[in-house]
Amino acid sequence: MNQHTANLSGEDAKDGAGSLLVKGEVDTRHGPILYLEDVSVSFDGFKALNKLSLYIDAGELRCLIGPNGAGKTTLMDVITGKTRPDTGSVFFGQTIDLLQMDEPAIAQAGICRKFQKPSVFDALTVFENLELALKADKRTWPTLFNRLNGEQRDRINEVIETIGLSTGHQLRAGILSHGQKQWLEIGMLLMQEPKVMLVDEPIAGMTHQEVERTAELLLSLQGHRSIVVVEHDMEFVRSIARKVTVLHEGSVLTEGTMDEVQNDPRVIQVYLGG
């Protein structure tokens, strides 16, 4: 039995020192925050994922690359509960079995996903978008009558500073540039206080300056939370990644630094056009 599958009962468990693990708390004492082991997904006979195993450490910024059809989107779908694998196990920390949870529960536990196209509320200001995304009671009655307290307002202002929109926080999101909308959506994810962020092609359609700013933003977030970035732009990947995972035909082809990956004959053959 693998160490992270030892507690499936849903009850509080004791570690070797006798201290209690809080039910539902993400246990990363052994390092990784995401475990995927021997995960396979088939669609009408096509294996989108084929016995894939992947481990993401707490606080790590990892880049995923691979040709179209390599399984990148399906992998993120599995992590977030959108797709159920045919076989394999998917754990959040040591004790949280993601295959026993639905999409809202996984998001509530601390795994958030940003899609390629930004989804912001154009008619609302930057501040209001972040306020709406605040991790709080989202039932109708509390939302209608909620008033921000000082701590919540400080949190919003902190995120505005992080995403570089301090001078435009009262602007309506609809007039922001494409890059600014992407940063705002990253900020909306940050308001949820995620432990893991899955970010899909964040620089598509950006100017050179916006690409540089996005790299700075993602690098500033590592260490505080785990970030998995799917991207095709190799120059951008090189600028942010310490470790790159290459997917091919639904499996991990290789992992390593960008230099190691780019010089791997298998990667050159299947992905980099050598």
253 phi and psi, to 5 degrees? -80, -45
State yes or no: pLDDT of 21 exceeds 80. Answer: no
Give the chain's domain count.
1
State yes or no: pLDDT of 22 exceeds 70. Answer: no
Mean pLDDT of 222-227: 93
State yes or no: pLDDT of 141 exceeds 50. Answer: no
Residue 256: give its domain's CATH number: 3.40.50.300
Q: What is the mean pLDDT of the chain?
A: 86
Confidence band of 37 (pLDDT split at 50, 70, 90): very high
State yes or no: pLDDT of 221 exceeds 60. Answer: yes
pLDDT at site 27: 72
State yes or no: pLDDT of 11 exceeds 50. Answer: no
Instruction: Measure the CA–CA gap between 92 and 54, rounded to whole angstroms.
Output: 12
Range of the domain at 244: 3-270
Question: Pick from 64, 29, 111: which is nearest to 240 by CA?
Answer: 64
Task: Give the three-state DSSP class for 234.
Answer: helix
Model confidence pLDDT, tens digit, residues 55-91 = 999 999 999 999 888 999 999 999 999 999 999 999 9
State yes or no: pLDDT of 9 exceeds 60. Answer: no
For the whole model, what pTM was predicted? Answer: 0.85
CA distance to 63, 163, 195, 255, per residue, from 261 (Å) = 11, 30, 27, 7
State yes or no: pLDDT of 248 exceeds 50. Answer: yes
